[in-house]
Structure 1
Amino acid sequence: MMEKSTLQEMLKGFGSLKEVADGFQITAVQSLRIWGMMGLVILYKVFILPCQKNKKKQLFDDLGSLKNLTLTIPRNVQSKSKREGYFLSNEDLDFFEEKGYLPPFQVLSEHEAEQLKEELQKEFSCDFHGEIYLSEKIEDIEKRHDQWQIEGAGLYQALRIKSLRDLFRRPQIAERLASILGDEVMCWRSQMFHKFPGAGGTIWHQNATFRESGKYAKLQPTQKMDPAIIQLNAWVALTDCTEENGCLRLLPGSMTDARMDYLYSYSQDNKLFYLSLQPFSFSYMYTLIKIALYGTIFIKSVLLFRTAVELLGEDYFDKFDVVDVHMKAGECLIFSSLNMHASYPNTTKEDSRFSAVARCTPNHVKVAPSGVDIYSTAEGLVEYKLPDVPNFQVYGKDTYGYNKIIDD
């Protein structure tokens, strides 16, 4: 029997792009828009692309420069006296430099995890008492299409919910983060994830500065630092996480190759050029454009991953091994956002997976001020004003003054 490639292993639980596109409906008007966009791609591919050899060469030159990134964590971040707590040893730091994550560790008891989960679900059930940080327009669209979930509604809610802030400030988490990021660590965005029975998986992705589907990077370092530690996730399981209910998956060491992250941003800035580089057939291009225009954020991530693989080649991943991260309720996983990660679909009938995450960065990183951003909805791309929210300190004190920090 032929051995599975890394890519085949990564795509366990995911259907083809066509199956993804067939999973949501569009209107006749939206279909006409797709055909119009497809006409533009054809014209571009036939008449303009042949004249853009330099642009194509520049793209692949830029990608080549992102293949062998380094990650070096200063060993003088913390004093010897601090190492007696939960600060990382040199061996731990060596592991993180090589793998881009720390193995799960206990931070809450099972009872504490259950209590916090119930508190967060209760908050969501009453729409967080009207304190939603996405725009009302997006909320209305999501509710109209029965897609309003805690993943969107729960953005930044740790600013309101003290028990969440207290969780991420526990020394088991905070001191480990400080070992890697330095003596001033803040959370710039908190989130919650609730994967219901039957929910699909989240496709592989990586992120350094969190541009996402917006117009600019949300994290802007003011000091030289390796891309892999611009942002770390402290991901806390509030239920057991298994392959069946949708546990996280990692590609350890992949934070040294940022080509996928680069293509995510590049494809948004050069839509016609990027689409014209893809293999062409009418059915395939219709599928790509349908997802690009009307897929939600997680569905659009499938498109970006699949099309990036077309450009990078299927052997792009063969130097890495997939790790499925099984976790117990109350355990925390710290990992670089630039380390490629994904999650399985939830194939159970009644077992939900629930988690909370703090996205953390050093205080010398500027969080982009409020402005216009873009959100993917079932009715297309929607521009909205980024919430002008503060951050909260996870470890140490802010001496830079670049960002708003709540005083609590």
Structure 2
Amino acid sequence: MKTYLVGGAVRDRLLGLPVQDRDYVVVGATPEEMQQAGFKQVGADFPVFLHPVSGEQYALARTERKTGRGYHGFAVSFSPQVTLEQDLQRRDLTINAMAEDAAGQVIDPYGGQADLAAGRLRHVSPAFAEDPVRILRVARFAARFHGLGFVLARETLALMGQMVDAGEVDALVPERVWQEFERALREPDPQRFVSVLRDCGALARVLPELDQLFGVPQPAGPHPEIDTGVHVLMVLEQAACLCDDPQARFAALMHDLGKGTTPPAKWPTHHGHEARGVVLLKGLCARLKVPVAYRELALAVARDHGRAHRALELRPDTLLDVIERSDALRRPQRFAQFLLACEADHRGRTGFEQAPYPQAQRLQLALEAARGVDVASLAQQGLTGEAMRDALRAARTRAIASALPTA
């Protein structure tokens, strides 16, 4: 029985990055031997064990054989005869197919160290094509390592395109698509996740609402980048610069979906795209089973980002409309996320990357004024129902008007 540190822990140590999780492969052992050594078995598909002290994962070396479509279509084989090289060969990228023995010696049968040095994301073997989840994972690694100069190998991108053409991506279940998407939103350059999926043709299959934005023009004055698809990638990039919040990043990316359904005869204008975008976004979130917190914030941004951009010219009552529709009075933290996504939209345009966004300060000031209204004093006047609602709204409108600086 021999134990090796594998995967991301080896890769990140060689890159000089913090090692977050440690996974191990055990060669030459049986499940019974692992259990006798005190390991606790978990997982139904193949034996994975938790170390009795550290709780770290130890998996028996295994091989996989394709038996059907999708990422469930595999027969897994594990036995003491499976070698370390055979186990590493089934992994996705060469930089994830390295191991380290107890003495710290790196075992690298597929050129992972050379690809690390070259900044290259390259598949290990043709077996990559057997699992469509790997397309999503590679796009996520592109988002993680873009800042380090990593690029996707041409042959790997070509293989991913062949997988899309063969229909493998169509076998992905929505929950797994969202899982990888949400992870990618947490990476340093989440826009690369989207662009890699588009480069291989997978975006049209898993996120068609986003894919149809590419090639749709916008007015050149406010949008020198012209292309709506390019714009939303720039917006996501700006959101990543402004915050680490995956919910705000998701909302920023999804804010302009409605422009993809504007009739070409009306290009480059997109009147009413906010309402159309809300409909598309609801469908996307339902399909991918997007969590409620992501969904509600994204809907608020899709519906009211245009009004937020006009905050400097809106009347106090209209500012209150934006605040109420965003549920900001009850959820001020979510309103801060809303403003971050709107600022990313404002800055996600060619030449506007460093532009100030005073609209956020004005809306935040309006919210603080509205929240400062003493509801209890109105209730003491005996007001109820519609009268109470009208009086409260009038008081909040007056508070906003008093708090905002005049030109």
After TM superposition, the score normalised by the length of structure 2 is 0.23
Higher relative contact order (CA 8 A, sep 6+): 1
Kindly indicate which of the two structures has a greater share of residues assigned to strand: 1
Kindly indicate which of the two structures has a greater share of residues assigned to helix: 2
After TM superposition, the score normalised by the length of structure 1 is 0.23
